[in-house]
């Protein structure tokens, strides 16, 4: 009997499988003219409030929908549906993030993709056209594991609210390295908090020089049109 132990890196294997699934999902969505945005941030960073303020600026001409992810409950999905937007709640049941397989299940529920047959993540191009052309995936609230797992999104947005503090890019660099754009939310609190927007800008640029920075307030509407235009430009390209 050999004394040599075989070590299996389960985490690496899972991430590799998810990488393949996420690339397949992106290809399938692109082929159907659907743009998927992964929205990440801490609990209370204003993800749902941002969407409530942003969606009216995109529709029309775009047809948006939302996938809401939480450990439990459908509070956020109900809040958006009460405003007239289509939303599907994804209950992760303890998982602190979404992966491409979970995202695809939600997209099938929205009617963006047909029901899955066969291997998860492998596109099935049969079925009707998508009723939506931009889908926002509001990921589970945290700044750690959501940044480590590819959801199949075309664009990753990281939210940082003013009450959280301007040091988060230093403490959670993986999140800000993943983000194609960083959105500083709740800027109506700037007169009450010790928050340095320019410090955040420098820290984000030091981690990912090509990332864009937006400063917005869902309450007042400040900065929201600029963010909407950015998304429209991304979809066109």
Residue 1 resides in a domain = no
What CATH number has the domain bearing residue 93? 3.40.50.300
Q: Domain for residue 4, yes or no? A: no
Report pLDDT digits (tens) over 163-179. 999 999 999 999 999 99
Which range among 19-28, 65-74, 156-165 has the greatest average pLDDT?
156-165
Per-residue confidence at 55, pLDDT binned at 50, 70, 90? very high
Residue range(s) defining the domain that contains residue 66? 10-236
Domain assignment of residue 3, yes or no: no
pLDDT (mean) for 58-84: 87
Alpha carbons within 13 A on the beta-carbon side of 80: 26
Does any domain span residue 5? no
Q: What are phi and psi of 172, to 5 degrees?
A: -130, 65
Structure tokens at 99: 């992966």
Is the residue at 128 inside a domain?
Answer: yes
Q: Is residue 96 part of a domain?
A: yes
For residue 112, CA distances in Å to 43, 58, 76, 83, 131 come to 27, 18, 20, 21, 6
């Amino acid at each position: 009997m050999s004394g040599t132990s075989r070590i299996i890196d389960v985490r690496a294997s899972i991430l590799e499988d998810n990488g393949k699934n996420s690339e397949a999902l992106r290809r399938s969505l692109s082929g159907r003219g659907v743009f998927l945005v992964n929205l990440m941030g801490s609990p209370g960073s204003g993800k749902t409030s941002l969407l409530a303020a942003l969606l009216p600026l995109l529709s029309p001409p775009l047809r948006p929908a939302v996938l809401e992810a939480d450990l439990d409950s459908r509070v956020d999905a109900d809040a958006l549906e009460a405003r007239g937007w289509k939303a599907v709640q994804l209950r992760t049941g303890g998982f602190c993030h979404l992966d491409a397989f979970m995202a695809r299940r939600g997209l099938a529920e929205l009617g963006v993709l047909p029901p899955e047959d066969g291997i998860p993540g492998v596109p099935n191009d049969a079925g009707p056209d998508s009723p939506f052309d931009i889908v926002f995936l509001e990921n589970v609230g945290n700044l750690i594991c959501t940044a480590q797992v590819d959801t199949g999104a075309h664009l990753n947005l990281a939210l940082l609210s003013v009450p959280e503090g301007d040091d988060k890019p230093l403490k959670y660099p993986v999140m800000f390295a993943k983000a194609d754009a960083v959105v500083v939310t709740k800027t109506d609190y700037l007169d009450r908090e010790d928050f340095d927007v320019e410090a955040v800008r420098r820290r984000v640029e030091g981690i990912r020089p090509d990332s864009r920075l937006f400063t917005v307030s869902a309450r007042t509407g400040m900065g929201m049109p600029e963010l909407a235009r950015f998304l429209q430009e991304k979809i066109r390209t």
